[in-house]
Amino acid sequence: MMRRVKLSEDQLSLRVTFNNGRKYIIERSFLFEKIHIPTTSQIIEIGLDLNGAELFVKCLDHKTYRIPWDVILHHLEPAYEHFIGKQQS
C-alpha cells in the first residue's frame, strides 16, 4: 500500500511512496494516457484513501480520478508479478 503522495510544483508529476519505502514518479503524461485525465485539467488536490490502496487526483472541474496501488506497480515496477513489460510464457 501507499503511504505518501506529493504533486510536483510544476504539476508535471506525482511522487508516490509505498509502505515498503519504494518510490515512484508518475509523469503527468501517464495520467493523461492511462488514467484518461484530460490534458487541460488543472490538479487542485491529491491524496490517499484511508488504507493507502488508492490515490486520488481532484481536478478544477470537480472530477476525481482514482488510481489503485496495483495499477502503479503494473506500469512502473518491473519486479511486480503483473508488470506490463513482462513476457507471457
Domain at 10, CATH number: 3.30.2020.30
**Residue for grid cell 484511508:** 50
| Separation of alpha carbons 6 and 13, rounded Å | 9
Structurally, the chain folds into a number of domains equal to 1
pTM as predicted: 0.87
pLDDT of residue 88: 60
Which domain, by its residues, includes 12? 2-76
Q: Is residue 83, in this structure, part of any structural domain at all? A: no
pLDDT of residue 89: 54
Contacts 24+ apart (CB under 8 A), 82-88: none
Residue 73: partners with Cβ closer than 8 Å, 6 or more residues away: 80, 82, 83
Q: Is residue 81, in this structure, part of any structural domain at all? A: no
Per-residue pLDDT of the chain (89 residues; tens, 9 = 90+): 999 999 999 888 999 999 999 999 999 888 888 888 887 888 999 999 999 999 999 999 999 999 999 999 999 999 999 998 876 65
Chain center to CA of 72: 6
